Structure 1
Amino acid sequence: MGVILRIAFRNMKRRKARYIMTTITLVIGVALFGGILIARDSFKVMFIEDIDRRMGTADILVRNKATDDGWFDPDTIEDDIEDLDHVVDVSYRISGFNVYVASSPDGNQLDNSTRTSVYGIDPGDSDERDIGGNPTILDPEDTDDTIEELLDDAENDEVIITESLKIKLGNDFEAGDTIWVLPREGEELGYASENTGTWLTLDVIAIIRDLGEARDFDPETPEDYNIPSQGACLFTNLDTAHDLVDGTNNYRGLVNLVAINIDDVNNAASVADDVEDELDDDNWVSCDLKSDTIEDINQSVEIMMTMFIMFALIALILSIILILNIFNIIKEEQEYETGMFQAIGASKSETFRMFLAQGAIMGIIGALIGTICSFFMSYLIFQLTVESLKNMPGFIGETFAQTEAQIILLPQTLGVTFAVGAISCIIAAIYPSWKASRKPVIECLNPLAKKSEREKKHHSRRILFGVIAGAIVAYGAWLLYGVGAVGGPGGGGMSEAAIAFVGPTLILLGIIWLLALFVGPLTAGFIKLFGKYLKQTKLLTKKNVLRHRKRTVLTFSMIAITVSYLVGISVYMGSMREGIKTTVTDVMGCDVRIFIGNAPPSFRGDLKDVDGVDEVMAVTHQNAQLWDDNEWFGHSLLEEDYDESVSVHILDPDIVKERMTSTTILEPSDLTLEDMMDKLEKKDKLIITEKEADKFDLDVGDDIQVRFSLGLSYPTVDALLERDDSNAQEQYTVRELEVVAIVEKFQGFATGEIVGQDEDEFNIYISWQTWEDVTRYDLPGGNTDLVFRKITESGNQQLDAMQTDWFNFSSVEPLINGINEIDYYTTRMEYYSPSIDNATIFNPNMINLTTPVVGLRTQDYGKLKSDAYFGTHQLIDKSNAYTGNTIEQLLNTTDKVCVVDQSYIKGQQVNNPSFGINSSIRIFPQEFQS
């Protein structure tokens, strides 16, 4: 140990209390800073582990697009993939196929089955078990097994289904029940589509809620993956999967999907590229499942941690200021010793090193203790944050409900924490050490001399410091109101979250620095303000405050930063609580949301009867397009890729006016929520937001044409069942609606672009009254309030579902005419019949569509009206030999003519492209069963 170091230790022992307090200050700052860094690492690991737990550890998927449905022999690529760097596990699966599942043997494919995805895995493979996730087992409730463990113990005729499929199979369906499955190309295999009793029978051993273990992707669009298990899906072993999806071919021993787990998800993108390069074939395509998710996680964690890091940096700054202040005091207390040290021959550099050694010793000790304490601080931060997230409503709270706090200690994080603490203390000691070494020996040995005779006025230095402080304020303002105002990364590449914290912090520090330069005038003003309380001590107070200007400035700065720090935390946490509350209230607009497919608005009555439910509002969302600049803006249901979207939100005005009072109305400015809803309740009215008003140049009172999407019609039953949109036709109607109000935000609805969504989304709002008016007149059968017929009771359920039972209308006509509530009615004759076009050589195998044949009434007789009163239609084309603008007018003839739907034309044109107007068709007569 050198002489300088021994002297440094001796000086520290003599002023033990000051150095201990300084070290404690450093420990607190380092512990807070390091704790936040450790908490950040722990959050990242926690999120990634949660993703793996829920979705499985598959990081990359691989498919082959060279063969039909992507079949390949896994032995041909196994070695190539497993030898790649970072690859840990490789499993082979079957996916991308659909079958039809029924819960009863008494039914048919069209009416009683559900289109279901098949996901085949090898449950006995150790890699598959490692890659698999941990879905929620809903039934049976007393098991914690994984999908792989359940299937490994199962027979080939036992499967696992998802919650979505269970719902479609019926509320009473449970694990242990049997399902009937129509395999792919089932009719060619001998299964009858019209009789579910002939289908393959399987037993359900479990019902699960899977969030993503079953993942797949289209080789043509590898950047997007899908999750079949979020809908109706069944999990099987590979042998059962082949039974279901092979059809008339035999693909035993082949698979069509590879799932890969790697050692570090941050390498997913590079490993995906390596897989394609190693296979050395353009027909192999990989899909990176995790990189985008990891990026989102990092962004979320950074946003959350930026706030804490800024507070930790402020704590470090406070520590540095306190250390600087104490060193200035120590420097003055040791002036005589410093003078003696230099008088016996010590150089200025040795004096500098002596003081700096004291700072280094404190820095090392404080940083070491602070780094150790950062573990406990990180646990506190992590635990409090996780508990806060658990208590948040909705999906966030549900996501964190099962999360356990686990602190992750990374060597690099601990190293950074220690280095920041030690360097901070050394930096704080540099200036006082330099000043002590530069002080003349005579001044050190004569500390009682009048310093006023020796001190100089450093006006130039104050001006320089003022310029620097002003520049800091200006830079902070530019970050906050310049870069931050336009959004996106800026200010040296900082994120918006970082700018939101760095900008105000720089402004705060700059203002404090500027005020510190005017500590003299501020002191004078203070004394003048409180002069009557200070009385005779005014002069003494001023001299004491200004006698050690540096100490006063540092103390002032420290107090100002501390107060700002505490106030900032209080305001931030309070704002965050209110912000979360406001966001939940504004976005949700309710306590619980229930998503139900194809439920009537009257279903709200059943929910309202549930105990604890105060009010229920039925809402539906539809796709639409708006007429703008002589073209339709938005997208149709048949468009897969689109840049803009228009959503119609259909709501109940009476409930909105009572429950969603946070809705902000822009125009008319004097319009109340109640008046706005009263206007919306009228026919053909809509509400828009400021975004739609600016985009389409709309104001209150303006009209705009809206094209409502009413669904898709398919040319054949096969196309309907397979969801083949290639020849589908979108049904729509156009209405002109009037803008009754423009709102800034609509409580309970998304009024702007959704985070992470590429397309530009627009929103309009209409009432149920307007929507029912649209559907009443424009949907098929829209003007029909009630339909009844005689039920066929032959004893054969398949026949009863297809065959109409005839009856004599004269026997029920007096009854109908006697009901006053019935304004008018019509009669029809209808049945389902196979049909082909007359130009085709008869071949029963070519009949793939069972056509509904409907006989319509074309004339009125009292309450018995023409079918023109019921629903609307649009003539696309007609024969020139007949006159009329409606179906009823065209059919009002004794000729053997018929009117067909456009989808029927398209279906027939599959086999006969020339089929169209004036073509003849054969309608097979109905066969009655006695």
Structure 2
Amino acid sequence: MTFQWLLAWRYLMGRKQRTILTTLAIVFGVLVIFGMNTFMPTFVKAFQTQVMAAAGQVDVTLTHKIGEAFDPSVLEKVRAVDGVEVAAGSLERVINLPADYFDRDPNAVDRISAVVLKGIDPEVARQMIAYNIVEGRFLEPGDTHAAVITRSLAREVGVQLGGTLSLPTAIGVVDLKVVGILPERMMPGNEEVLVTLSEAQQLLNMPGKINIIDANLNTMDEARRAEIQQRIIEAVGSNYKVGALESGSEILTNIRNAQMIFNLMGFLALLMGGFIIFNTFRTIVAERRRDIGMLRALGASRSTIRWMILAEGLIQGIVGTAAGLVLGYVFGYLILQLIVPIGQQYLNIKVGAPEVSPSLVVTSIILGVGVTVLAGLLPAQSASRVTPLEALRPSVGGVSFRRIAGFSFWAGVVLLALAAGILVSRQAALLGLGAILMSVALILMAPALINPIANLFGYLLALIFARNGTAQLAEGNLSRQPGRATVTASTTMIAMAVVVMMASVLTSLSLTFVNIMEKSLGSDYLLMPPTLAVWGSNTGAAPDLAQKLREIPGVALVSTLRFAGSQIKDVAVGVLGIDPQAYRQLDGLTFTSGDPDSAFTALEQERAIIVNGVLSSAAGIHLGDEVTLVTPTGEQTYRVVGIATDYLNAKTTTGYISQKNIAADFGRDEDVFYQINLKPGADRAEVEAAFTRLLKNYPQFKLLNGKAYVEENRKMFDAVFFSMYAMAAFLAIPSLIAMVNTLAIGVLERTREIGMLRAVGATRRQVRTVILSEALILSAIGTAFGILAGLYMGYMAVKTFEALGFPMTYIFPASGILSTVAIGIIFGALAAMAPARQATRLDVVEALRYE
């Protein structure tokens, strides 16, 4: 094996340019897969850690399965279970803080963006958890406006024992006296602020409610503990669960869906890398035919030749994968830096460094090295079959792969039909399979189509280079090697398909969401909480704030949203309570099913619900269905009177009910979002001044001009879409590498032919034009196939989004296709530069002697 490794290493080092180009293909594939899978888990972890509340370290934590508060009578049922030693109820809520709340410095990084306000029964709580007070004292049952905080929180906000901690609550800003300090919080996450249970119920506008029950058991036997937990569930009912309090689970589902899409893009990039490796190795057999023949004549076995070729691929796979891992980490880090402002502005979370798991490293290595080795298997097997006599015979380019064009063509037709069937079915789960079938179908059909397509593009180029007579030479060179042309064009096809698909999705997405945004957020003013869509982690305000806003001179309309968590058919649902009359005037919902007038009327008169498209798809809900919502007071039946979507909740499973019903069934009357319209002719300066005075006691809300906010979001869309287009173009780079590689190899194989052309009078310019024409024909074939595949993938992606509930309309990506054609032409011209220079610099005499 040492001999094979030595030969492989020397050959790679002897052709550094080709080695680098081939290895770069693997680098790109590993980079995308590894980079995106370091970024996504980090973002999800930050979301879970900083937006979701964490319960204390106890034996059992019991919550309502929809995360809502419930009556303390449930606590007595838990205490009555045999085996429960002690149980305590608490009310816990994440309070997202506005930017610069503590430091008041917009140039400094906010170290504390959220805290957990936890109301406890001091006497029972100390039986549950050993609170170690390092300064001051613990809470006492009669305490009011008193808090116990951690030393790390005290240090970050600059508060000492006996000082005042000001927090925004549902009843306004409240000053809490710090009576005790706990040790620093060791685990990452939200800092806790402990107050008495009665205090928390008042501050959070939830009188007589708890949302967590902690219990310690009287045994350490695992079987016995499992039995006790089961008895607890039986005692309280199936609407409760054992586990930590969660919120925002509906948005996590969409984050994971995005991760799947990026993984698909990474797989396509790695697939392009495999094509490049295969194309390179299969031509190695032709180029090194004499070398292989000499080795075989000197006694080298077929196994030796096979392992020599595979060793070259393995070396390139290892180097490319290692470089891809390093660059992928950098790529993930840069992506995180781009989304940090978005995370802080819209979700109020802080994102750390990319997270690398051992399983991700192992998977990336297996994919990177595995694709390289697999791509080299057939060329290695072909090389091992070269006989010494055949190899030493002086001819060029004798080794090729025979293809049964008829069989491959009709197999491609069958796969194309299957891809069309998947398109008709519009099954989201089959999106990736349909894209792969479409791509493979075009690849299989390509050999039979190369000649006629090359003839077509050769004729077009002949019109351009009419006097040179070089386009026909380029066309003939490609027609003689349809297999190689197919592999190179296939790489280009995949790259361009990604570009067209992204153009289709982004064009449709942009138009759809901008229209919905203008309709949903077209109010004169908005009162925004720290986070959007994850409403359960926001601290709102009691109803009197909305009433005070209505009393301001010049205000015509105030519409508010109230939030509660629920479930429909085991699907997590964000329930928004609206005032049907006020919300109807805003015209903020885009209906896809149902009549708006009758839907809002039904919301006022009965238990009716409007569901958005995502919820309709996830739970299989249709207009007119009766659905069961899980509430803290039991299950309630609602009639579906419409399917509609607004901008802020378009990506999460959401239902809209009346504020009367959300108060009756969920006990929620806390407003978390406000939309305000002014009367015609109102003095905006005076109204804004009145808003500012009123909101001083509610710093959790930010006053925004509605039109300015829409424009800000439009700019954010443009920035995100630009970055997505840049990523699509980034994934097209391997196609450039493939063309450079193919053209460079073609120059080496045709050294004598180029020498003969020069000897009979061809100029350097004409030789350069031949290489350029080949590159343009190759890129044209790949671009044409890529546009076909991309249109299919884009249309199916948009229809899949529709099937998932997003109200998208397919827009033909005319600009995207023009961009793809431009990229194809530019890449073709760039790919021809180095090989053309190499060809024109060949010495005529040496070229004629080359074998």
TM-score normalised per structure 1: 0.48
Three-state SS of the structure 1 residue aligned to 2:89 is: strand
272 and 685 in structure 1: CA distance in 2 versus 1, 3 angstrom threshold: same
**Partner residue in 1 for 2:335:** 381
Aligned residue for 1:592? Answer: 527
Q: Does 1:545 align with 2:492?
A: no
Q: Deviations over 1:688-739 (max 9, x none)?
A: 9899998559xxxxxxxxxxxxxxxxxxxxxxxxx9x99xxx9xxxxxxxxx
Q: Name 1:554's counterpart in structure 2.
A: 487
The aligned counterpart of 1:17 is: 17
Shift of 1:371: 2.1
The aligned counterpart of 1:417 is 364
Q: 1:481 to 1:444 in 2, by over 3 A?
A: same
Q: Which moved more, 1:544-553 or 1:118-127?
A: 118-127
Equivalences for residues 257-656 of structure 1 within 5 A: 257-258=214-215, 276-277=225-226, 282=231, 287-290=241-244, 299-391=253-345, 397-400=346-349, 403-448=350-395, 458=403, 461-482=404-425, 484-485=426-427, 496=428, 499-535=430-466, 536-572=469-505, 581-582=514-515, 584-585=517-518, 590=523, 591-592=526-527, 603-606=548-551, 616-618=557-559, 650-651=579-580
In structure 2, the CA distance between the partners of 1:331 and 1:443, relative to structure 1 (3 Å rule), is: same
Conserved in 1, the CA contact under 8 Å of 2:49 and 2:190? no
Cα 1:296–1:55 change in 2 (3 A) is: farther
Counterparts in 2 of 1:620 and 1:2: CA distance versus 1, 3 Å: closer
Aligned residue identity for 2:215 = V
Equivalent residues in 2 for 1:61-210, closer than 5 Å: 61=61, 70-71=78-79, 94-95=88-89, 119-120=121-122, 122=125, 128=131, 167=171, 174-175=175-176
Query: Is 1:272–1:288's contact at 8 Å kept on the other side of the alignment?
Result: no
**C-alpha distance 500-643 of structure 1, shift in aligned 2 (>3 A):** closer
Q: Which residue of 2 aligns with 1:45?
A: 45
Q: Secondary structure at the match of 1:363?
A: helix
Letter in 2 for 1:346: A
SS of the aligned residue for 1:592 comes to: strand
Is the helix fraction higher in 1 or 2?
2
Q: Residues 25 and 319 of structure 1 are in contact (CA less than 8 Å); yes or no, is this contact kept in structure 2?
A: yes
CA displacement at 1:163 relative to structure 2:
5.7
* Offset at residue 309 of structure 1 (A): 0.9
Q: Deviations over 1:227-276 (max 9, x none)?
A: 9985447999xxxxxxxxxxxxxxxxxx984279xxxxxxxxxx998673
Q: 1:294 to 1:176 in 2, by over 3 A?
A: closer
2:26–2:270 contact (8 Å) kept in structure 1: yes
With over 3 angstroms needed to count, the CA separation of the structure-2 counterparts of 1:696 and 1:353, relative to structure 1, is: closer
What's the offset of the Cα at 1:534?
3.6
Q: Is 1:118–1:234's contact at 8 Å kept on the other side of the alignment?
A: no
CA deviation string 1:856-880 (max 9, x = no partner): xxxxxxxxxxxxxxxxxxxxxxxxx
The code of the aligned residue for 2:327 comes to C
- Whichever residue aligns with residue 33 of structure 2, its letter is F
- Alpha carbons 2:148, 2:180 under 8 Å: kept: no
* Paired residues for 1:705-716 under 5 Å: none
CA deviation vs aligned residue, 1:366-412 (integer Å, no higher than 9, x gap): 22232233221221233334444444xxxxx1332xx1322222222
Cα shift readout 1:652-673 (whole Å, capped 9, x = no counterpart): 58x966x6487569899xxxx9
1:354 CA drift (Å): 1.4
What CA deviation, in whole Å up to 9, does each residue of 1:30-68 have, x standing for no partner?
122211222233234333432566666679416999995
Matches of 1:45 and 1:647, distance apart in 2: 26
Q: Indicate the RMSD between aligned Cα atoms, in angstroms.
A: 6.3
The 3 A distance-change label for structure 1 pair 447 and 296 is farther
Give the conservation status (yes or no) of the 8 Å contact 2:521–2:588: no
**Alpha-carbon distance, 1:470 to partner:** 3.8
CA distance in 2 between counterparts of 1:513 and 1:750 reads 43
Report the structure number with the largest CA radius of gyration.
Answer: 1
Q: Distance in 2 between matches of 1:449 and 1:172?
A: 84
Structure 1 residues 123-170: Cα deviation after superposition (integer angstroms, max 9, x where no partner):
79875579xxxxxxxx999987589999x9999xx9999865x71xxx
Q: Distance in 2 between matches of 1:161 and 1:257?
A: 28
Quote the residue 1:896 is aligned against. none
Q: For residue 439 of structure 1, give the secondary structure of its aligned residue in structure 2.
A: coil
Kept after mapping to 2: 8 A contact 1:93/1:257: yes
* Secondary structure in structure 2 of the residue aligned to 1:42: helix
Identity percentage of aligned residues = 16
Tell me the CA shift for residue 355 of structure 1: 1.0
Q: Secondary structure at the match of 2:463?
A: helix
Taking the TM superposition and a 5 Å limit, the aligned residue runs for 1:880-895 are none
Q: Distance in 2 between matches of 1:141 and 1:67?
A: 24
- The letter for the 2-side match of 1:503 is G
TM-score by length of 2: 0.52
Please name the residue that 2:734 is paired with: none
Partner of residue 798, structure 1: none
What is aligned with 2:96?
none
> For the residues of structure 2 that align with 1:379 and 1:339, how far apart are their CA atoms?
49
Q: Secondary structure of 1:518's match?
A: helix
**SS in structure 1 at match of 2:88:** strand
8 Å CA contact 1:687–1:765 kept in 2: the answer is no
Residues 445 and 419 (structure 1 numbering): CA distance in 2 closer, same or farther, change over 3 Å?
A: same
Q: Is the 8 A contact 2:58 2:215 kept in 1?
A: no
> Following the alignment from structure 2 to structure 1, what is the Cα–Cα distance between the partners of residues 292 and 373?
20
In 1: Cα distance, 2:571 partner to 2:484 partner: 65
CA contact (8 A) 2:563 2:574 kept: no
- Mapped partners of 2:241, 2:658: distance in 1: 36
Extract unaligned runs of 5+ from structure 1: 79-91, 99-115, 131-138, 178-202, 218-225, 237-254, 261-270, 392-396, 486-495, 624-640, 698-722, 731-741, 767-930
Between 582-591 and 24-33, the greater mean CA deviation after superposition: 582-591
Supply the distance in 1 between the matched residues of 2:8 and 2:593 (Cα, whole angstroms).
Answer: 70
Assess if the C-alpha contact under 8 Å between 2:147 and 2:176 holds in 1. Answer: no
Are 1:662 and 1:747, in contact at CA under 8 Å, matched by a contact in 2?
A: yes
Secondary structure of the corresponding residue to residue 527 of structure 2: coil
Measured in 2, the distance between the counterparts of 1:127 and 1:425 equals 57
CA contact (8 A) 1:65 1:283 kept: no
Alpha-carbon separation, structure 1, partners of 2:611 and 2:366:
51
* 2:33 match: secondary structure: helix
Shift of the 172–533 alpha-carbon distance from structure 1 to 2, 3 Å rule, reads: closer
Give the letter for the 1:374 counterpart: G
**1:588–1:216 CA distance, 2 compared to 1 (3 A):** farther
CA distance in 1, matches of 2:128, 2:605: 61
- Distance in 2 between the 1:508 and 1:517 partners? 15
Q: Contact 1:648/1:763 (CA < 8 Å) preserved in 2?
A: yes
